[in-house]
Amino acid sequence: MQTRVLPLEPNPAPAVALAAELLRAGEVAAFPTETVYGLGANGLNEEAVAKIFAAKGRPSDNPLILHIAKTEEIFPLVSEFPEKARKLAEAFWPGPLTLVLPKSAAVPSIVTAGLDTVAVRFPKSDIARALISSCGFPIAAPSANASGRPSPTRAEHVLADLDGKIPLILDGGACEVGLESTVLTLTPKPTLLRPGLVTREMIEGVLNEPVAVHAAVLAEANGDAPSPGMRHTHYAPSAEVYVVSGETLEAMAEKIRRRCAEFERIGRKCAIFATEQTQTFYFSKNYVIMGNRNNPESICARLFALLRGAEGAGFDVIFIEAVKAEGAGLAFMNRALRSAGFKFI
Ligand code: TXA
Ligand code: MG
Q: What percent of the chain has pLDDT over 90?
A: 90
Nearest ligand 1 atom to alpha carbon 119: 26
Which ligand does the CA of 229 lie closest to? 1
Which ligand has the nearest atom to the CA of 128? 1
Which residues does the chain have with pLDDT short of 50? none
What is residue 119's predicted lDDT score, i.e. its pLDDT? Answer: 98
Alpha helices for 25-154 (secondary structure H): 46-56, 83-92, 109-112, 126-135
35 Cβ inside 6 Å of ligand 1: yes
Element (H, E) at 318: strand 317-321
Residue 230 near ligand 1, beta carbon < 6 Å:
yes
CA-based end-to-end distance of the chain: 44
Question: Does the Cβ of 110 fall within 6 Å of ligand 1?
Answer: no
The Å distance, Cα 142 to ligand 1 centre, comes to 6
CA of 333 relative to ligand 1 center, distance in Å: 18
Mean pLDDT of the chain: 94
Best substitution site from 35, 110, 183 to test ligand 1's pocket, by max atoms within 8 Å of Cβ? 183
Residues 67-107 have pLDDT tens digits of 999 999 999 999 999 999 999 999 999 999 999 999 999 99
Q: Smallest Cα–Cα separation from 338: which of 266, 222, 234?
A: 234
CA distance 42 to 141: 9
The answer, yes or no, to whether any atom of ligand 1 lies below 6 A from the CB of 30, is no
Degrees to nearest 5, angle at CA 116 with 112 and 121: 55
**Predicted confidence (pLDDT) per residue in 224-245, tens digit:** 676 666 665 566 667 899 999 9
Which residue's CA is the nearest one to ligand 1's atom 10?
Answer: 142
